[in-house]
Amino acid sequence: MGTDMNTKIVVDNIRKGFKSGKAQLPVVGGVGLTVADGEFVAIVGPSGCGKSTLMKIIAGFERPDEGEVRIDGAARHGPSPKGIVISQHGSVFPWLTVQQNLMFGLNGDGHGDKAALADHYAEMVGLKGFENSYPHELSGGMLKRVELARAFVVKPEILYMDEPFSALDALMNLRMRTELLRILAEERHTVLLITHDVEEALYMADRVLVLSPRPTRIQATFEVPHPHPRKLSRPEFQEMKERILRELGVGE
Ligand SMILES: Nc1ncnc2c1ncn2[C@@H]1O[C@H](COP(=O)(O)OP(=O)(O)OP(=O)(O)O)[C@@H](O)[C@H]1O
């Protein structure tokens, strides 16, 4: 990675453990990482290695035992409105309509402006006509779209995504990947994505980090400089996928 790029996130030698009875469970074992502004970094790693913990630390929801995270050069001491977390659990309010959900995170401005902005993002994720629907009236895939729109409407500088599409069926999962890339092409954001799906990582990311088992460290890094849209059936992607799987100990 070039040093002349604008740096957005610096993760400086993070360590983190949790108390487990009398013992200490080491979870993050020294992770250092620099993410450029507008870069899309995917993180894969074995189950339970500490991916979510690492992301929570970077997003400011957990404190590291050692090391620090800097966003735009400033040390992070908690969550910031510059970053939005999208997880598999979802955070849509069931008692609000799609439009109201999208307006929720917006402050300032008049009601009319907020509603117009909400409708713009609803349309962007393909929910035009459903602005006044309630979450229980939507399918799982549509709910995910609300979730995405909710993240984008506040124009976050950083999107933290922890297995955002894993609860969706395979087809909807593919559609949401394309959707996300389309939105990112319109509005560039810095993205950190945790996924268990190596193809999902290779389809979207500029860089894929493979984490080691707990206490986790960065075991390998793969640059993916290929333009979008990517055809994963191409040999270079299949080869990279095999190398990543081998790092994860599941390749032959
Ligand atoms: N708040 C906590 N208190 C105690 N232990 C925790 C806490 N959060 C995570 N852990 C432990 O840290 C380890 C890593 O958890 P984490 O959720 O970060 O892993 P992960 O790689 O995201 O897992 P998965 O791939 O299964 O989602 C696990 O052993 C978990 O039990």
What would the DSSP string read from start to end of 113-170? HHHHHHHHHHHHTT-TT-TT--GGGS-HHHHHHHHHHHHHHT--SEEEEESTTTTS-H
**Averaged pLDDT for residues 90-113:** 85
One domain, residues 146 and 238:
no
Lowest mean pLDDT among 50-54, 144-148, 206-210, 229-233: 144-148
One domain, residues 105 and 193:
no
Rounded to whole angstroms, the Cα distance separating 142 from 131 reads 12
Gap from CA of 53 to ligand 1 centroid (Å)? 6
One domain, residues 186 and 244:
yes
One domain, residues 163 and 151:
no
One domain, residues 169 and 75:
yes
One domain, residues 200 and 230:
yes
Question: Which residues have a Cβ under 8 Å from the Cβ of 31 and sit 6 or more positions away?
Answer: 11, 13, 14, 54, 67, 211, 216, 217, 218
Helices (H), the chain: 51-59, 98-104, 111-124, 140-153, 170-186, 198-204, 235-247
Predicted pLDDT at 3: 46
Structural domain harbouring 168: 1-82+159-252
For Cα atoms 135, 138, 142, give the angle at the middle one, nearest 5 degrees. Answer: 105
Gap from CA of 61 to ligand 1 centroid (Å)? 14
Name the more confident of 211 and 87: 211
One domain, residues 165 and 238:
yes
Q: Please state whether the peptide bond connecting residue 229 to the residue before it is cis, i.e. omega within 30 degrees of 0.
A: yes
Last residue of a domain, one of 138, 155, 172: 155
Sheet of 40-44: strands edge to edge? 83-87, 158-162, 190-194, 40-44, 207-211, 218-223
**Averaged pLDDT for residues 56-64:** 96
One domain, residues 145 and 170:
no
- Whether 53 is in the pocket of ligand 1, judged by its Cβ within 6 Å, is yes
Nearest alpha carbon, ligand 1 atom 5: 18
**Averaged pLDDT for residues 167-179:** 83
Measuring CA to CA, which residue among 115, 126, 170 is closest to residue 149? 126
One domain, residues 28 and 97:
no
Rounded to whole angstroms, the Cα distance separating 75 from 21 reads 31
What is the atom index within ligand 1 of the atom nearest the CA of 50?
18
Q: Please state whether the peptide bond connecting residue 215 to the residue before it is cis, i.e. omega within 30 degrees of 0.
A: yes
Nearest alpha carbon, ligand 1 atom 10: 18
Predicted pLDDT at 190: 96
Q: Per-residue confidence at 109, pLDDT binned at 50, 70, 90? A: low
- Is residue 202 predicted with pLDDT exceeding 90? yes
Gap from CA of 112 to ligand 1 centroid (Å)? 43
Nearest alpha carbon, ligand 1 atom 8: 53
Whole-number Cα distances in Å, 4 to 32, 33, 191: 18, 16, 19
Gap from CA of 248 to ligand 1 centroid (Å)? 18
Percent of residues, the chain, with pLDDT higher than 90: 68
- Whether 47 is in the pocket of ligand 1, judged by its Cβ within 6 Å, is yes
Question: Which residues have a Cβ under 8 Å from the Cβ of 24 and sit 6 or more positions away?
Answer: 17, 18
Beta partners for residue 26, in sequence order: 17
pLDDT tens, 14-47? 999 999 999 999 999 999 999 999 999 999 999 9
**Averaged pLDDT for residues 194-207:** 96
Q: How many domains does the chain have?
A: 2
One domain, residues 118 and 167:
no
One domain, residues 71 and 182:
yes
CA 189 to chain centre: 11
Gap from CA of 13 to ligand 1 centroid (Å)? 19
The structure's pTM equals 0.91
pLDDT tens, 113-157? 899 999 998 998 889 999 999 999 999 888 988 998 888 888 889
Predicted pLDDT at 125: 83
CATH number of the structural domain spanning residue 172 = 3.40.50.300
**Residue 87, domain member (yes or no):** no
